[in-house]
Amino acid sequence: MAKTPKIPDTTLSPDETEADLTGTTPRRKPKPEVEKIGNRKLKPATLMMGHGFDPTLSEGSLKPPIFLTSTFAFESAAAGKRHFEGITGKRPGGAEGLVYSRFNGPNQEICEDRLSVWEDAEEALVFSSGMSAIATVLLANVRQGDVVVHSGPLYAATETLINRVLGRFGVTFIDFPAGARREEVDAVLEQAKGRCMGSGRVAIVYLESPANPTNALVDIEMVRQAVDAAFPDDPPPVAMDNTFLGPLWQQPLKHGADISIYSLTKYVGGHSDLVAGGAMGDKKWLDPIRAMRNTIGTITDPNTAWMLLRSLETVELRMTRAGENAQKVCEFLRDHPKVDGVGYLGFLEEGSSQRDIYDRHCSGAGSTFSVFIKGGEEESFRFLDAMRIAKLAVSLGGTETLASHPAAMTHLSVPDARKKALGITDNLVRVSIGVEDADDLIADFMQALEKV
């Protein structure tokens, strides 16, 4: 059974106001319960059409309007005081209304309600980007002298944030490979405990699964057990970047993670026309993250939140179609003479440790995978340049098929020795399959491989 994670210290510094460091959730109305029909709990795909929004509060508008305002008028001075008593935590229960758009807003709150449905989370928060979500989560949990334990590889910007940015403030890290076994994780946690300086502690265990770009899986349940065993009285929270498979094909909160993090730019946004991030989990440890978001202003804007609401209505349809397409494309690529291998979760070997993790944690293989072109960078570049339907671009999870070269693009800043250790080779091409016709995509990959 998972222990209660430690709550970060949010003591006010002299130049911080209590409003900045609120851990409460201002709302326009009480959070709606997940709807039921009789004893039937409605599925997320159904709830995306109206959950968290009451048309009678917006002139009967079927869809939420975009609330483009920086601040909200109070109905009376007494009400304003009451809202600030809640937002500062001086009065339990949170604010009773909207205050200021750096803290909350109608579009953001509705979006957060619907996001939380997918993992049955108590709370969700939206951010201006996936990296702002990651940064806010880390900043809410770490302090000088702390150690971050994480799986590897991580998205390159996440590694840079942990190593180079937080490292400037006395935070260190220790990592373990994504497919590590229990004894390896135990050893890393013990090493991390021994590295803590002064009042430092192991602040957070940060996972990314599947790893970017290798698709290696982390055993969330095993990490949870290892953390609870290593810290029986005060376990650090376990956070996981769930961008590659979430929210449809994997729900980390159900397997022991405390915080599930998303680049909502990807599958949830899903149209390559917005940048946003999200985090969800239990209120008792999302409160410090919300407090940090209020302080540094990393909340998403109303228009982006509105676009996410639009996208959430079709996320299951889009992800399902993309997943079906990916399976067909990977089956073609696996047998092609110019392909050295395909890093696709649907091809994990029966009886392997990775397959065991997949069977326990995942409900689908996703639509993002790596393909290893015979040769190196030159051959991979020829393949990428020859594609006609697939777009040569970074990112993933959009309606269109994208392909990129991690070693020369998204992970260019990663030292060569680390790239080699993590399997990020010059012949690795990352592909994110979209919702086009699968046979058309196969034809495109076929002609591109002929140019290699």
Domain limits, the chain:
102-312, 316-450
- Calpha distance 153→159 (Å, rounded): 8
pLDDT in the model for residue 376: 96
pLDDT in the model for residue 434: 98
- Calpha distance 330→319 (Å, rounded): 16
Residue 280 has pLDDT above 60, yes or no: yes
pLDDT in the model for residue 101: 93
- Quick check: 243 and 130 in contact, CB under 8 A? yes
Residue 203 has pLDDT above 90, yes or no: yes
**pLDDT band at 421, cuts 50/70/90?**
confident
- Quick check: 300 and 101 in contact, CB under 8 A? no
pLDDT in the model for residue 24: 39
Residue 20 has pLDDT above 90, yes or no: no
Domain 316-450: give its CATH architecture: Alpha-Beta Complex (3.90)
pLDDT, tens only, 319-369: 999 999 999 999 999 999 999 999 999 999 999 999 999 999 999 999 999
- Calpha distance 151→240 (Å, rounded): 10
Lowest mean pLDDT among 80-94, 129-143, 420-434: 80-94
- Calpha distance 247→117 (Å, rounded): 10
Q: 211 vs 115, which has greater pLDDT? A: 115
CATH number of 102-312: 3.40.640.10
Largest CA distance in the chain: 74
pLDDT in the model for residue 90: 76
Three-state SS annotation for the chain: CCCCCCCCCCCCCCCCCCCCCCCCCCCCCCCCCCCEECCEECCHHHHCCCCCCCHHHHCCCCCCCCCCCCECCCCCHHHHHHHHHHHCCCCCCCCCCCCECCCCCHHHHHHHHHHHHHCCCCEEEEECCHHHHHHHHHHHHCCCCCEEEEEECCCHHHHHHHHHHHHHHCCEEEEEECCCCHHHHHHHHHHHHHHCCCCCCEEEEEEECCCCCCCCCCCHHHHHHHHHHHCCCCCCCEEEECCCCCCCCECHHHHCCCEEEEECHHHHHCCCCCCCEEEEECHHHHHHHHHHHHHHCCCCCHHHHHHHHHHHCCHHHHHHHHHHHHHHHHHHHHCCCCEEEEECHHHCCCCCHHHHHHHHHECCCCCEEEEEECCCHHHHHHHHHHCCCCEECCCCCCCCCEEECHHHCCCCCCCHHHHHHHCCCCCEEEEECCCCCHHHHHHHHHHHHHCC
pLDDT in the model for residue 156: 86
What sign for the dihedral angle of Cα 108, 109, 110, 112?
Answer: positive
Average pLDDT, stretch 192-196? 90
Lowest mean pLDDT among 45-49, 152-156, 231-235: 152-156
Average pLDDT, stretch 141-154? 95
pLDDT in the model for residue 32: 57
Average pLDDT, stretch 227-234? 96
Q: 59 vs 300, which has greater pLDDT? A: 300
pLDDT, tens only, 387-407: 999 999 999 999 999 999 999
Q: What angle do CA 449, 450, 452 make, to 5 degrees?
A: 65
pLDDT in the model for residue 85: 82
Average pLDDT, stretch 157-175? 95
**pLDDT band at 10, cuts 50/70/90?**
very low
- Calpha distance 137→125 (Å, rounded): 11
- Quick check: 162 and 204 in contact, CB under 8 A? no
Q: 273 vs 13, which has greater pLDDT? A: 273
pLDDT in the model for residue 92: 65
Average pLDDT, stretch 65-71? 96
Q: What angle do CA 366, 2, 121 make, to 5 degrees?
A: 55
User: One-letter amino acid identity for 120?
Assistant: D
pTM above 0.85, yes or no: yes
- Calpha distance 172→149 (Å, rounded): 9
The residue among 194, 144, 150 whose CA lies nearest residue 174 is: 150
